[in-house]
């Protein structure tokens, strides 16, 4: 009983702040002995960890399985966009091909040659493919999973990493049925395809209950959402946050998840500002506040897909002029962010005091109110919350307009 309660407390602490319970207790102890200045190093390290931790996702399967299209879909790209994984090339190399996320440089998708295209057994294949680099593996097939797929899954499992089976091109299956004049019961056909995949995997010695049926062109259908939820649920908290922030805006739910993740950074940035404000150098605190605010807002825009490049990619996908997408935006934060922009944001702030109790309950349940003091802290905290709220609302407006959601 005590063990369960302890695990729950750790989970609550991480979900609220990115810090473990032990790290939060250290912050509290450091604050009590040295004030805000003493806790900044741990906060700076945590922010650096959030920005620099890499997420490497390996995608493997036979040639023609739809790996490249899947990788492009996960990165919010069309196959014809600059930087997209090529879908018309024959597999002729043993080297993994890495594709960075277009906005978040610490997220990579790796297209691995299918094991069936090599002369190596599974254990040699994984060594050649730099196995240790990847956080998890997605094994894709456009028809039936074969013996080589099962061999690879067994070796991945033996080496202690996660893998997921994905059956792609479900939309093409249904198109073929329609062209053949077949009457389609979607639910029954999906059940038949899933069972066929599971039976073939069991024959090859893989006992799994999960095969995700997807179309890389229709995220709202079939198991695309289920696949992403499964990936999220099994990741550590920081990896999960990186994965969610890298995902294209396809629903209000995704955008709200991003907002919740970004909100966890705000108290850390405000605390760093508060520590600088304690240094008696004229103008230093304000200059640092400007830098913190500009950097945070630009990061928020990228994660919420409101930067120029993300809007253009969305326009390409939905065949909407980018000017029309921009026209539904209400915040002035899409343009250049500079000192004048920040000053105007400061003028808009009407709430200048934050309840220590409210702050403790919402963000730092272990520490309580120890950070809730200082004008610099309050300014950064309030302005960034205000900016994040506006940007989130605009991200929802843009997404709904782009995809025709009322």
The predicted pLDDT at position 373 comes to 46
**Which residue has better confidence, 289 or 114?**
114
Q: Residues 389-399: what's their mean pLDDT?
A: 95
In terms of pLDDT, which residue wins out, 366 or 169?
169
Percent of the chain with pLDDT over 70: 80
Ranges assigned E (strand) in 113-235? 136-141, 162-167, 212-213
Instruction: List alpha helices for 117-161, DSSP H.
Output: 122-128, 147-158
H or E segment to which residue 375 belongs: helix 375-403
Amino acid 355: pLDDT: 44
Mean pLDDT for the stretch of residues 264-286: 59
Taking alpha carbons only, the member of 204, 65, 224 closest to residue 139 is 65
pLDDT at 261: 92
pLDDT, average across residues 40-64: 87
Task: Give the pLDDT band (50/70/90) at residue 134.
Answer: very high
What confidence category does residue 359 fall into, taking pLDDT thresholds of 50, 70 and 90? very low
Evaluate if residue 377 carries a pLDDT over 90: no
Contact, 379 vs 289, CB < 8 A? yes
- Residue 260's pLDDT band, with cuts at 50, 70 and 90, is very high
Q: Are strands 107-112 and 97-100 parallel, antiparallel or unpaired?
A: antiparallel
User: Strands 97-100 and 212-213: what pairing?
Assistant: unpaired
Assess whether pLDDT exceeds 60 at residue 188. Answer: yes
252-277 and 2-17 helices cross at what angle (nearest 10)?
80
What backbone torsions phi and psi does residue 40 show, to the nearest 5 degrees?
Answer: -65, -35
Kindly report the average pLDDT of the chain as a whole number: 80
Q: Which residues contact 341 (CB under 8 A, 6 or more apart)?
A: 294, 332, 333, 335
**Helix, strand, coil percent values for the chain (each to nearest 5):** 60, 5, 35
Tell me, what DSSP letter sits at residue 84?
A: P
Mean pLDDT of 277-281: 40
81-91 pLDDT, tens digit per residue, is 888 888 765 65
Average pLDDT estimate for 171-196: 90
In the DSSP assignment, the letter for residue 113 is P
Q: Has residue 37 got a pLDDT over 60?
A: yes
Does the structure show a pLDDT above 60 at 98? yes
- For residue 230, give the DSSP letter: H
| Cα distance between residue 400 and residue 396, in whole Å | 6
Predicted confidence at residue 324, as pLDDT, reads 94
Residue partners of 133: CB distance under 8 A and separation at least 6: 56, 58, 110
**C-alpha–C-alpha distance, residues 305 and 7, integer Å:** 34
In the chain, residues under CATH classification 3.40.50.300 are 54-243
Quick one: pLDDT at residue 266?
86
Phi, psi of 41 (to 5 degrees): -65, -40
**pLDDT above 60 (res 366):** no
Half-sphere exposure at residue 260, Cβ-oriented, CA atoms within 13 angstroms: 14
Distance CA 220, CA 112 (A): 26
Domain 54-243 is of which CATH architecture?
A: 3-Layer(aba) Sandwich (3.40)
């Amino acid at each position: 009983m005590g063990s369960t309660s302890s695990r729950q407390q750790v989970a609550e602490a991480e979900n609220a702040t990115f810090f473990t319970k032990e790290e939060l207790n250290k912050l509290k102890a450091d604050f009590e002995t040295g004030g805000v200045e003493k806790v900044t190093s741990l906060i700076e390290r945590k922010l650096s960890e959030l920005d620099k931790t890499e997420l490497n996702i390996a995608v493997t399967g036979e040639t023609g399985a739809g790996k490249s299209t899947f990788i492009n879909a996960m990165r919010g790209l069309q196959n014809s966009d600059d930087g997209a994984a090529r879908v018309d090339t024959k597999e002729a190399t043993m080297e993994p091909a890495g594709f960075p996320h277009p906005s978040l440089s610490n997220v990579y998708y790796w297209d691995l040659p299918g094991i069936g295209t090599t002369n190596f057994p599974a254990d040699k294949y994984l060594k050649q493919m730099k196995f240790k680099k990847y956080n998890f593996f997605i094994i894709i097939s456009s028809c039936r999973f074969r013996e080589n797929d099962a061999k690879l899954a067994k070796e991945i499992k033996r080496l202690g990493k996660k893998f997921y089976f994905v059956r792609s091109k479900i939309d093409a299956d249904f198109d073929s049925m329609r062209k053949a004049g077949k009457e389609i019961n979607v639910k029954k056909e999906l059940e038949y395809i899933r069972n066929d995949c599971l039976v073939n995997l069991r024959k090859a010695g893989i006992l799994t209950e999960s095969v995700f049926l997807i179309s890389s062109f229709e995220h709202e259908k079939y198991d695309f959402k289920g696949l992403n939820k499964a990936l999220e649920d099994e990741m550590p908290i920081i990896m999960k946050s990186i994965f969610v922030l890298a995902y294209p805006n396809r629903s209000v739910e995704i955008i709200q998840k991003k907002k919740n993740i970004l909100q966890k950074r705000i108290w850390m940035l405000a605390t760093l500002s508060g520590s600088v404000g304690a240094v008696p150098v004229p103008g230093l605190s304000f200059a640092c506040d400007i830098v913190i605010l500009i950097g945070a807002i630009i990061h928020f825009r990228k994660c919420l897909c409101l930067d120029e490049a993300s809007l253009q990619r969305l326009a390409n996908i939905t065949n909407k002029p980018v000017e029309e997408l921009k026209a539904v935006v209400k915040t002035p934060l899409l343009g250049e962010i500079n000192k004048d922009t920040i000053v105007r944001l400061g003028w808009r702030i009407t709430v200048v005091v934050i309840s220590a109790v409210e702050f403790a309950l919402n963000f730092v349940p272990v520490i309580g109110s120890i950070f809730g003091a200082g004008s610099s802290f309050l300014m950064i905290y309030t302005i960034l919350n205000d900016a994040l709220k506006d940007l989130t609302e605009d991200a929802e407006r843009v997404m709904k307009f782009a995809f025709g959601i009322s």
